Amino acid sequence: MNIGKEIKRLRIKNGLTQEELADRCELSKGFISQIERDLASPSISTLSDLLQCLGTDLKNFFNNAQDEEVVFKADDVFVKEYKDEGSIINWIVPNSQKNDMEPIIIELLPGGKSYVDDPHDGEEFGYVLSGSVVLHIGGKKYRVRKSESFYYKPNAVHYIENNTKNNAKVLWVSTPPTF
């Protein structure tokens, strides 16, 4: 982490000059300049004072300063096969269970199905990439074919199954994460 760059970003975000920040922290403008250019390192106490003047604290500064990963590559995918159900789940966003939504790609072998999920708060969305599936929601069944999608509130027992002789693949997004 580049502390000086982050201090400068916060200072500018707060509409402060180096001199204004220095006055608020009882430091010199030259010292603020040196910190921002990584020519000087503030003590923990001084850094804490600086951050307080910038509207944050040590904990949030170091947590928020990490770059948020936006793009995920094939190497990031975690795959698990469920032989009993005849399904393979591909978690395409690592650690997505900590987020508000969880996207997966589920592959269903002929006769395969997802696990049966109980009612819960949130929403479910799916897009059939290949093959076709039967979506079960409560006592209702819906056939969903390639290039078709489904969207529902999961207020009843729900799952998908592949009752064809071909593999099926579905992009499925659940909120909150349930997979």
The rounded mean pLDDT for the chain is: 92
Q: How confident is the model at residue 67 (pLDDT cuts 50, 70, 90)?
A: low
Taking CA atoms, 88 is separated from 56, 77, 156, in Å, by: 44, 12, 23
Mean pLDDT along residues 85-91: 95
Taking CA atoms, 117 is separated from 48, 72, 75, 122, in Å, by: 47, 27, 28, 13
Query: Over the stretch 148-170, which tens digit does the pLDDT of each residue have?
Result: 999 999 999 999 999 999 999 99
What pLDDT sits at residue 28? 95
According to DSSP, the β-strands at 102-108 and 123-130 are unpaired
Mean pLDDT along residues 21-43: 94
**3-64 and 74-175 share one CATH topology?**
no
Q: What is the Cα–Cα distance from 116 to 121, expressed in whole angstroms?
A: 15
Pick the residue with more confidence: 85 or 97? Answer: 85
Domain ranges of the chain: 3-64, 74-175
Could you please state the CATH topology (level 3) that the domain comprising 74-175 is classified under: Jelly Rolls (2.60.120)
Mean pLDDT along residues 32-45: 93
Provide, rounded to the nearest whole percent, the portion of the chain with pLDDT above 70: 97
Q: Crossing angle for the helix pair 29-36 and 3-13, nearest 10 degrees?
A: 120
**Is the pLDDT confidence value at 60 over 80?**
yes
According to DSSP, the β-strands at 132-137 and 158-161 are antiparallel
Q: Hey, which residues does 158 pair with through a beta bridge?
A: 117, 137
CATH number of 3-64: 1.10.260.40
What pLDDT sits at residue 96? 76
